[in-house]
Homo-oligomer: A and B are copies of this chain.
């Protein structure tokens, strides 16, 4: 490995790191104000640079959300796929998936908020965000087959309206990103445990 090459790698790595920093900042601002209502200048201000300077790193405002969301979704699906590949029972899988979801929120809070609030509008806007719909589809597929298997395996009550249960679980999990604060009273895993207790056993005495 020549020094030359080392340099290049160094710069490439530095550049990637800077991008990640800027994206984290952008995600926070998008989450706080909403994507459409956020100006590129606000993102730049938050990053301590000038508006135009962002365009050295990114093609457009759109490509920023794009990268924020796809990075998050890739990581999330990687985690889900590991769980699904583990060959657990339906109930254990559900628990593991929920736990992974709250961990995702823990690591990508801002991205999750953006995902929740903007994904529908973005998907409607153009081809570029088709992967959001695809992810939705996989998500529904995963949950529906999980719930159906759970009923077959006798883990879940047979009288449930499964599509309804799916919808409630889906939304409830992600919506937690709106109030969750990393380092707060409850850690992600605690929240997952409480949430599972509630969903599985109900709140009734």
Contacts and interface: CB of A to CB of B under 8 A. Distances in A.
A167 to B, nearest CB: 6
B171 A178 contact: yes
Contact of A172 (B154, B175, B186, B191): B175
A121 to B, nearest CB: 5
Interface in A146-205: 154-158, 160-161, 164-165, 167-168, 171-172, 175-176, 178-179, 186, 191, 194-195, 198-205
B178 A164 contact: no
Interface in A77-102: 91
Question: Which of A161, A179, A205 gathers the greatest number of chain B CB atoms within 10 Å?
Answer: A205
Contacts of A195: 164, 168
B33 A165 contact: no
Given A171-B172, A175-B175, A203 B36 contact: no
Contact of A194 (B34, B161, B172): B161
Contacts of A194: 160-161, 164
Nearest to A118: B34
A34 B164 contact: no
Contacts of A205: 154-158
Contact of A204 (B33, B157, B175): B157
A156 B198 contact: no
9 tightest A-B CB contacts, nearest first: A202-B202, A36-B36, A36-B37, A171-B175, A201-B202, A200-B204, A172-B172, A200-B202, A161-B194
